[in-house]
């Protein structure tokens, strides 16, 4: 019937295909994702388009293919704030992040939903707060009982119980213990789902992550270069707001550091290691990841802070000489493996 644009908290505008209600796999389907506007444009999805519809995993409605294309329905302006949309690859974006109602409301809702230790801060409540001039999570935590009452948060009998309940839930969200990786995930960092947040905090303390470089993040298994670059950029933009909210005193359960967990059993935990030469044990990248899992820090060059230089075959003289000058212990690959037991 039509393609409806929806603006997400990241500013990406997602196309939703509104369908002639159709029974499929026992359910009446009237909407399906069109994935992105590149697909809408390329395949001709608009009013009158005939599609083949499936339910992915017998659950999620999905456009399998376009049978009869029509003129694609592409928006020029954000459906929430009216700003001109811009293309980035196959996606349309609203860049008005500080004033777009959809982005502001979805960001706030994502925060409370991800914390998962509070009730009452769903879409309707957040929309009402935003209409009253509240634009951030931090501002919500500064609200008083009277301010909430003035915004219309009263029970049906006109009393202030509704406003009191919201304040109680805000207090609950700060005093009920939650994992620090869940708290970090609540800020909606680009490319950082809860799994990546936990993985990051297994290697670095929460307040230390804002000082990490791309290279620091790439060393963590599961983080590629593009993800690391996006995370460093997002953390820089987020830092000020994050610290303001963090300082409100949330009760956070600290993620155990892998290095600390392994310190008692790993002979290389906390040590700085450099690998050089061709290894027989396996690829050098695999050995590096193995060493990092055991709590070691792997460097690319030998310095006075290096603990071990692990040598394979075809080793150049430069690193060996630097190691000798700095008193660094040189281990053959076999000596290194024996050290690990």
pLDDT tens column, 316-333: 888 889 999 999 999 999
Cα–Cα distance between 227 and 135 in angstroms, integer?
A: 28
Q: Specify the pLDDT at position 190.
A: 79
Q: Specify the pLDDT at position 42.
A: 95
Q: Specify the pLDDT at position 314.
A: 84
pLDDT single digits (tens) 255-287: 888 866 655 567 888 889 999 988 887 788 788
Residue 61 tokens read as: 């409605």
Q: Specify the pLDDT at position 296.
A: 85
Q: Specify the pLDDT at position 263.
A: 55
Low-confidence ranges of the chain (pLDDT < 50): none
How does 106-137 read in b/e, with b if 16+ C-beta sit within 10 Å? bbbbbbbebbebbebbeeebbeebbeeebbbb
Cα–Cα distance between 306 and 311 in angstroms, integer?
A: 14
Q: Specify the pLDDT at position 153.
A: 92
CB 151 within 8 A of CB 132: yes
Q: Specify the pLDDT at position 107.
A: 93
| Sequence-distant (≥ 6) Cβ neighbours of residue 314 within 8 angstroms | 277, 278
Q: Specify the pLDDT at position 262.
A: 58
């Amino acid at each position: 019937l039509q393609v409806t644009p929806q603006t997400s908290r990241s500013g990406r505008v997602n196309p939703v295909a509104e369908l002639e209600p159709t029974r499929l796999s026992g359910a009446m389907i009237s909407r399906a994702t069109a994935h992105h506007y590149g697909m809408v444009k390329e395949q001709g999805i608009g009013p009158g388009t005939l599609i083949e519809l499936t339910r992915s995993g017998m659950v999620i409605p999905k456009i399998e293919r376009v049978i009869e294309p029509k003129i694609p329905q592409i928006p020029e302006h954000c459906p929430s704030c009216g700003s001109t949309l811009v293309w980035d690859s196959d996606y349309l974006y609203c860049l008005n992040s500080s004033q777009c109602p959809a982005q502001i409301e979805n960001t706030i809702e994502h925060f409370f939903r991800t914390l998962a230790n509070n009730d009452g801060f769903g879409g309707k409540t957040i929309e009402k707060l935003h209409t009253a001039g509240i634009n951030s999570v931090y501002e919500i935590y500064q609200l008083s009982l009277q301010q909430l009452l003035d915004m219309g948060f009263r029970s049906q009998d006109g009393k202030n119980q509704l406003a009191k309940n919201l304040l109680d839930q805000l207090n609950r969200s700060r005093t009920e213990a939650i994992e620090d990786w869940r708290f970090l995930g609540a800020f909606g960092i680009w490319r950082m789902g809860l799994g990546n947040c936990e993985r990051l905090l297994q290697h670095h303390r929460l307040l230390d992550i804002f000082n990490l470089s791309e290279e620091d993040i790439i060393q963590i298994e599961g983080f590629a270069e593009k993800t690391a670059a996006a995370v460093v950029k997002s953390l820089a933009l987020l830092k000020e707001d994050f610290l303001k909210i963090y300082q409100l005193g949330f009760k956070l359960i600290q993620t155990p550091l892998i290095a600390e967990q392994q310190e008692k059993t790993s002979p290389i935990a906390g040590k700085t290691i450099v690998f050089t030469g061709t290894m027989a044990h396996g690829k050098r990248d695999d050995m590096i990841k193995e060493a990092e899992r055991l709590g070691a820090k792997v460097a690319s060059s030998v310095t006075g802070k290096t603990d071990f230089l692990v040598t394979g075959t075809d080793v150049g003289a430069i690193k060996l000489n630097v190691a000798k000058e700095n008193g660094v212990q040189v281990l053959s690959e076999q000596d290194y493996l024996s050290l690990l037991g």
